[in-house]
Chain A
């Protein structure tokens, strides 16, 4: 029965978080190892082809420039994948009913799925960072900016994943979400290049891409250099999270697509 200890009070959402973490950990080969290998392959190929030919910031080799972008891209994609795939699977399999029958509040539901998404994103990001250390010696100028952007960025994408998971009814709708929204936004956000290298029009377009702020701010933490001020990026990413979180909570509270 519930009791007054911290765990007793929050055992419900903690259990849901634990289940969500175990869910991806049970298939870690697919959910952690695969994205790490993919990112390291990108790193291997792009650094081999472009190292020495391209320099984005003074004194920063291309491989070093590339690593924070790849880490953040993977953090974001995996945070999204965790909440969205868990929800769509539970909906299609029908086992989401086990959670819907419980006294968990919509806020607890949100918090558990969000935290699991953040943790998966951070685990993948950390593994890529450790792997990338073989390639280049990375210095860190502002570690707290790195932590802040990793947390907020994965929170934005974890929340976006919850929205997508609630909205989608079928796997192909989810795949469309991933292939037509998440992938283009993450590839066109300045992972592989500085947006200053783009023509002015595409620079402006890039400023509409939320991924750009997450990646630029995260990279600023490593080099102390970026395309725009990290304070602006942090404000934009933070505001995005608040807006998306409010939308998600409203959807969950109303029971949109989950309760008839």
Chain B
């Protein structure tokens, strides 16, 4: 089957800055794919090239087999992109904007039922006739997502769709997007809420400095990089050197260790006993994507968006 997205050797230079250094990536139809990475990793640049807003320095991208440069009309017809910036047209109401957006893609009144479905799915039905200018920030974000879906694209790209939005909208949005994914739409998501990517996406690509540093199923990544997470409350102590390598973080006397197997628990505890350090509290949990992310891109990356 033709891949939803095929990215071959994409490079992008802005002057001397190499924003993307040879990205290769294939996303199959029907996937729910997460693209993660710290600020400046190049995620948004890659999405802009995919959407035709930026041209690549080298390489090519195709959407369902159509090149985004040479066959841009077919490629864009199949693609719905939610921009990261909260932009809107102050002259029109929500329904008008959705009908215009569908119209640009050649869809007429036969698309109205789909527009109603989007409005319903994103909780915008009550606001359909409200001017974009008068919507709250959260509602504007919903309208922005709705616009990207107006022409019912088989491939949907959400660039940080939940940045700065409340829990209610996030849940509503994900329910709707999961439904679209079940119906066969391919979803590509960039987010800095790692738990979202972990909960939703079957496969994850992690970017750092314009390169993909990890690409695997979410489950494999979690297994490969850190099996268990051990959180120990130790207070203000100096850790023995032999367990420093396992340390992933420390905050206010709480130390987090990444363990590849259960046997390492005893190793850590015995090292602490030998050093005469008392364990005040202990928590053992499964590693999450944040641990993988940290081990790949370093501590400084977490909590920033791109």
Contacts and interface: CB of A to CB of B under 8 A. Distances in A.
Interface in B128-185: 147-148
A255 to B, nearest CB: 7
Given A101-B51, A103-B77, A12 B88 contact: no
A109 to B, nearest CB: 10
A8 B106 contact: yes
Tell me what chain A mostly uses at the interface: helix, strand, loop, or mixed. Answer: helix
B1 to A, nearest CB: 21
B100 A15 contact: yes
Contact of A16 (B48, B83, B96, B104): B104
A103 to B, nearest CB: 4
A260 B48 contact: yes
A99 interface: yes
A97 interface: yes
B95 interface: no
Chain B binding surface SS class: mixed
Nearest to A5: B108
Contacts of A16: 100, 104
For B55, B89, B104, the residue with the greatest tally of chain A CB atoms inside 10 Å of its CB is B104
A22, A94, A102: most-surrounded residue (chain B CB, <10 A): A102
Interface residues of B, number: 35
A32 to B, nearest CB: 15
A255 B48 CA distance: 13
B53 A2 contact: no
A259 B107 contact: no
A19 B147 CA distance: 15
A15 to B, nearest CB: 3
Nearest to B49: A260
Contacts, number: 87
A103 B54 CA distance: 15
Nearest to A96: B87
Given A26-B91, A94-B87, A102 B108 contact: no
Contacts of B96: 22
A11 B97 CA distance: 15
Interface in A203-260: 255, 259-260
Interface in A1-45: 1-2, 7-8, 11-12, 14-16, 18-19, 22-23, 26-27
Contacts of B26: none
Given A97-B53, A103-B77, A260-B54, A1 B89 contact: no
B92 A22 contact: yes
Nearest to B79: A101
Contacts of A55: none
Contacts of B100: 15-16, 18-19, 98
A178 interface: no
A12 B105 contact: yes
B74 interface: yes
B125 interface: no
Given A100-B53, A103-B76, A259-B53, A8 B108 contact: yes
Most chain A beta-carbon contacts within 10 A, residue among B76, B89, B110, B147: B89
Contacts of B103: 11-12, 14-15, 18
Interface of B: 14, 48, 51-55, 72-74, 76-77, 79, 81, 83, 85, 87-92, 96-97, 100-101, 103-108, 110, 147-148
5 contacts: A1-B107, A93-B90, A95-B87, A98-B100, A101-B81
Interface of A: 1-2, 7-8, 11-12, 14-16, 18-19, 22-23, 26-27, 90, 93-95, 97-105, 255, 259-260
